[in-house]
Amino acid sequence: MDIIVDGYNVIFKVPELGYSTEKCDIEVLRNRFLTLLEQYKEKRKHKLIVVFDGKGHGNSSETRAAGIDVVFSRQDLDADEEIKRMVSNSETPRHITVITADRGIEQYVRKYGCKVVEPLAFYRDMKKNVARLQASEEEGRLFNKEEGEEPASKYLGPTKKEAEYWLKVFSGKQKDNES
């Protein structure tokens, strides 16, 4: 199964990803979202394509370390048209799930037999799978990350257990308990 994600549509429909962020650089929001998707991809082995409006860093597409295809629409197409083009050119559109809240895209891709998932539902599933992955890491089963890649915890923050530990260390409560 292939998953095509309407990138900015998802980012701005999910408050935790960017909707409530007023003064944040769009590149920061995009990279934060892509980092979560990389973790999600560790759990799900589907082909994952994320489509954004406009040019990224001069490339029309790139492949992230986790195998996610990131596509920036060409000047003559917006992300909506790029997604529609991908679906209509697919040999097996019934095997595609499109993540979007855009009614125009939804109506178009359903004609080809694609499944459509709302951004918030996808985000919840993604977070649930990422949480499972973090739990397994905490139990000693580590990600298979490439050397030099930044850890996911940099963007997601510490676990509750880690935060409690460091609060004890820096508040001096650990010394009181030992005395």
Tell me if 158 is assigned to some domain: no
Q: How far apart are the C-alpha atoms of 102 and 32, rounded to whole Å?
A: 22
Could you tell me the residue range of the domain that residue 90 belongs to? Answer: 2-151
What is the average pLDDT across 125-137? 78
Given a cut of 90, whether residue 17 has pLDDT beyond it is no
- pLDDT band at 44, cuts 50/70/90? confident
171 lies in some domain: no
- Does some domain include residue 89? yes
- CA dist., res. 127 & res. 37, Å (int): 9
Is 69:78 a contact under the CB 8 Å cutoff? no
Domain count, the chain: 1
Residue, of 55 and 82, whose pLDDT is higher: 82
Cα dihedral 125, 130, 136, 141 sign: positive
Is residue 39 situated within a structural domain? Answer: yes
91-120: pLDDT as tens digits? 999 999 999 999 999 999 999 999 999 999
Residue 129 has pLDDT above 50, yes or no: yes
> Residue 120 belongs to a domain with what CATH number?
3.40.50
Within a domain: residue 162? no
Average of per-residue pLDDT across 155-179: 69
Instruction: With 0.75 as the threshold, say if the pTM is over it.
Output: no
What local confidence, expressed as pLDDT, does residue 165 receive? 80
Average pLDDT for the chain: 79
